[in-house]
Amino acid sequence: MTIVIPRLYAIMDALLLRTSAFAVAEALASAGVGLIQYRDKQISARNLLSLSRELVSICERHGARFVINDRPDVAALAGAGGVHVGQEDLPVEDARAICGCDSWVGISTHNEAQVREAEATSADYIAVGPVFATSTKQHADPVVGLEFIRWARSMTRKPLVAIGGITVENAEQVWRAGADCVAVARDLLEAAEPAAQAREFLRLAAMLDA
């Protein structure tokens, strides 16, 4: 079954957070962000589980879905709404076996071969990128550009999540290229008011869908 994915996917990268993850999640979820991921490559499994359980509670209060990066085991234990895996993490079907059918499993892709492979899995959505240059990841893959989104759109009916260097200024062209959703970290977390920035993304999406 194809999921209906929100237009905006907030990535709470621990390295970019200026205040507590709980405060940011509360602000974003209350602003209407329907999909929120927590990403921290350094945190211990024990601390990630404790933090994630609280984030799940915050997101659920506002009707948002909380996704954990990399760790399907922690996602399952925390009762999260899903897990996002990369090319070096557990394969989609193994993550699915751990999290269960009700959880979303998303996968990152960076080239045509990876998109084709992801299409053949039970992944609920396929993330493609980086669309634009990004400094959020230390070892980012080569920029794929808008044309890659158009190509990926022609290859799959699964929801496409575009990620990498996406801002309020360029989000519309990303959606128009075929992305169902834009995943944003820096442009939200480094804004003076992340909630206000999120509402601007959502306003633009609503205009596009009107």
Report the pLDDT value the prediction gives residue 204, as an integer from 0 to 100.
98
Q: In this structure, are residues 84 and 106 in contact, taking their beta carbons and an 8 Å threshold?
A: yes
Q: 204 in helix, strand or coil?
A: helix
Residue-level pLDDT, tens digit, the chain, 210 residues: 789 999 999 999 999 999 999 999 999 999 999 999 999 999 999 999 999 999 999 999 999 999 999 999 999 999 999 999 999 999 999 999 999 999 999 999 999 999 999 999 999 999 999 999 877 666 678 899 999 999 999 999 999 999 999 999 999 999 999 999 999 999 999 999 999 999 999 999 999 998
Report the pLDDT value the prediction gives residue 141, as an integer from 0 to 100.
80
Q: In this structure, are residues 182 and 206 in contact, taking their beta carbons and an 8 Å threshold?
A: no
Could you give the angle at which helices 21-30 and 194-209 cross, rounded to 10 degrees? 30
Domain residue limits, the chain: 8-209
For the question of whether the overall pTM of this predicted structure is more than 0.85, the answer is: yes
Rounded distance between C-alpha atoms, residue 156 and residue 119, angstroms: 6
Q: How many CB atoms lie within 10 A of CB 142?
A: 9
The fourth-level CATH superfamily of domain 8-209 is Aldolase class I (3.20.20.70)
